[in-house]
Amino acid sequence: MDALFEPPKFGVLPLVVGTLLIVVISSIISIPIGLGSAVYLSEYAPKKVRKVLKPTIEILAGIPSIVYGYFALTAITPLIRAIFPETSVYNALSAGIAVGIMTVPLVSSLSEDAMMAVPDSLRLGAYALGATKYEVSKDIVIPTALPTIIASFILAISRAVGETMIVAMAAGSTPKLTLNPLESIQTMTGYIVQISMGDVPYGSIGYRTLFAVGSLLFLITFTLNLISRYVMRKYRRVY
């Protein structure tokens, strides 16, 4: 469509799909790694290793997101393009991987704290019945701490939905309706950054879409946080 002769059209669906693509990719990275590291820290790691490894993982949460965006653009994207030459310079896959790395500490820290809160009496009882460490972790510790673990997953997803700098730098600014992670996309937060640069006239339709997308983004993150609190309250076990 030529914007000089045709009125521009607006639709939030490409932005929602782009955001969903980032969330899915980041969840594939952060949830397994975060949960696995939490199980290792709480059940397998010696105390000396845990004292070193846990702060190291949590340091990742303190790194500014713009650093992750630069890392995605200069390190992750060239690696992806070496494997898939047709990949765009700005693509959803590198941005999703960077967001996943950033949200690993959120899943790991909350899950590990929940597992450490499981009473040792439950572990010792399982060991007395002949259970292995793996069986205790799988059948006792994780089910007992499951409400907090699920809440950490939801919070990580909420964090991925609201991420701005990484997707603005690495995912591009192409509002394309696609599920191909190798192409450039645009998320809701990326669109807000683009509109907020000041190029859109005040009071125009494009200006008003800023508030529409922002309201939708707030509604999504607010709903995810409500679900997280509901899970915590409904399934929480007190010992």
- Does residue 204 fall inside a structural domain? yes
For residue 9, the model assigns a pLDDT of 63
For residue 45, the model assigns a pLDDT of 85
- Does residue 3 fall inside a structural domain? no
Counted domains in the chain: 1
- Does residue 6 fall inside a structural domain? no
For residue 4, the model assigns a pLDDT of 43
- Does residue 8 fall inside a structural domain? no
Low pLDDT (below 70) residues in the chain: 1-10, 198-199, 203, 235-239
- Does residue 159 fall inside a structural domain? yes
For residue 79, the model assigns a pLDDT of 93
CB-neighbour burial class of residue 199 (10 A; exposed 0-12, middle 13-18, buried 19+) = exposed
For residue 238, the model assigns a pLDDT of 56
Which domain CATH number covers 129?
1.10.3720.10
Alpha helices in 47-118 (DSSP H): 47-62, 65-71, 77-83, 92-116
- Give the structural domain span for 120: 13-235
pTM for this prediction:
0.86
Decide: 127 and 70 in contact? Cβ < 8 Å: no
- Does residue 4 fall inside a structural domain? no
3-state DSSP: the chain helix, strand, coil percent, rounded to 5? Answer: 75, 0, 25
- Does residue 188 fall inside a structural domain? yes
Give the C-alpha separation, 30 to 32, whole Å.
Answer: 6
Decide: 58 and 85 in contact? Cβ < 8 Å: no
Give the C-alpha separation, 187 to 166, whole Å.
Answer: 11
- Does residue 206 fall inside a structural domain? yes
